[in-house]
Amino acid sequence: MKIEIWSDIACPWCYIGKARFDKALAEYEHADAVEVSWRSFQLQPDAPRENPVLTASHLAEKYGVGLSEAHEMMARASQVAADEGLEFHLDKALAANTFDAHRLVHFAAGKGELGKEMMTRLMRAYQSEGANVADHETLLKLAVEVGLDGTEVSQMLGSDAFAAEVRADFARGRAFGVSGVPFFVIDERHGISGAQPSELFLRALRQLGPQPQPTAG
């Protein structure tokens, strides 16, 4: 069973959706038969790589609201996150470009389970720690934390490695009609949009995954 998850590191609902999906997967009887692939998506592809503004300012400009309303939007997301065991500090979040961070996730995915760990660490850095995820020194630090080789990561970030893979994810997402994230595609046929409750993810896994074989009568 193959599950592709389109998400952006800068998306609080993607982090919430990941937590809910992980909970469902932990309860799923055939979790060992599930292959999860993280697919890149950018909510703000023109976000700056240097000197990013606070996410609150970006939201206020994007939706044409005041800063107080933007903080209220973030507070609602933070409360939902807290219900899932996540601690957000979105008042510190920086609306930085995530392209290189997505390249780093692809690099880590080539090292086995480190792809998932890298995505998780980047989401926490953005949503909870106010980290600039466009900054290469920050990305290097986070990569080493999850167990990646610092020299290899520095070389990768200093090149255009995995840029083609990130853009291929963008194109694949468009082919599936992905216009917002998180978006989950199961076996290239079934789509689930949004940070749905864990119970919905679990029902989908059980309905679409391996089925018990009928016993011979």
Instruction: Parse the chain into domains and list their residue ranges.
Output: 2-208
Q: Which CATH class is domain 2-208?
A: alpha beta
Cα 44 from chain centre: 14
Give per-residue pLDDT as tens, 58-111: 889 888 899 999 999 999 999 999 999 999 999 999 999 999 999 999 999 999
Average pLDDT, the chain: 95
Instruction: State the pTM of this model.
Output: 0.93
The tokens of 47 are what? 């976000």
pLDDT of 56 > 60? The answer is yes
Side-chain-side CA neighbours of residue 114 (13 Å): 18
